A and B are shown apart, each in its own frame.
Chain A
Amino acid sequence: GENVEQHPSTLSVQEGDSAVIKCTYSDSASNYFPWYKQELGKRPQLIIDIRSNVGEKKDQRIAVTLNKTAKHFSLHITETQPEDSAVYFCAASISGNTPLVFGKGTRLSVIA
Chain B
Amino acid sequence: KAGVTQTPRYLIKTRGQQVTLSCSPISGHRSVSWYQQTPGQGLQFLFEYFSETQRNKGNFPGRFSGRQFSNSRSEMNVSTLELGDSALYLCASRGGVSTGYTFGSGTRLTVV
Q: Distance in Å from the Cβ of B94 to the closest Cβ of chain A?
A: 10
Which of B19-27, B60-68, B69-77, B97-105 is the contact stretch? B97-105
Total B residues in contact with A, Cβ cutoff 8 Å:
19
In-complex Cβ contact of B98 among A95, A97, A100, A102 (8 A)? A95
**A102–B58 touching, CB < 8 Å:** no
**A89–B43 touching, CB < 8 Å:** yes
How many A-B Cβ pairs are below 8 Å?
42
In-complex Cβ contact of A44 among B56, B97, B98, B103 (8 A)? B103
Write out the residue numbers on chain B whose beta carbons fall within 8 Å of the beta carbon of A101: 45
With contacts A95-B97, A99-B33, A99-B58 taken as known, whether A45 is within 8 angstroms of B45 at the C-beta atoms is no
**B102–A46 touching, CB < 8 Å:** yes
Q: Distance in Å from the Cβ of A88 to the closest Cβ of chain B?
A: 12
- What are 15 pairs between A and B in contact, CB < 8 Å? A36-B103, A43-B104, A43-B105, A44-B103, A46-B101, A49-B100, A89-B42, A95-B97, A96-B98, A99-B33, A99-B45, A99-B48, A100-B33, A102-B35, A102-B43
